[in-house]
Homo-oligomer: A and B are copies of this chain.
Amino acid sequence: MKLRELEYLVAVDEERHFNRAAERCFVSQPTLSGQLKKLEDELGVLLVERTRRRVAMTEAGKAVAVQARKVLTEVKTIKEIVQAFDDPMSGELHVGLIPTLAPYLLPRIMPGIRTQYPKIKLWLHEYQTAVLLEKLRRAELDLLILALPVDSNDFSQLHLFNEPFQLAVPKDEELAKQPIITLDELSDREMLLLEEGHCLRGQALDICFMAGAQENVGFHASSLETLRQMVGEGMGMTLMPQLAVPAQQSGQDRIRYLPFADPKPSRHIGMLYRRGSYREETFINLQQQIQQAMEQEQK
Residues of A within 8 A of B (CB): 1-3, 6, 43-45, 59-60, 63-64, 67-68, 70-71, 74-75, 77-79, 81-82, 85-86, 278
Contacts and interface: CB of A to CB of B under 8 A. Distances in A.
A77 B67 contact: yes
Nearest to A58: B85
A78 to B, nearest CB: 5
Copies in the complex: 2
Contact of A85 (B1, B60, B75): B60
Given A43-B79, A64-B81, A2 B1 contact: no
A75 B60 CA distance: 15
Contact of A78 (B1, B44, B59, B86): B1
B82 A43 contact: yes
B81 A63 contact: yes
A78 B67 contact: yes
A71 B75 CA distance: 6
A75 B64 CA distance: 10
A1 B63 contact: no
A68 B82 CA distance: 12
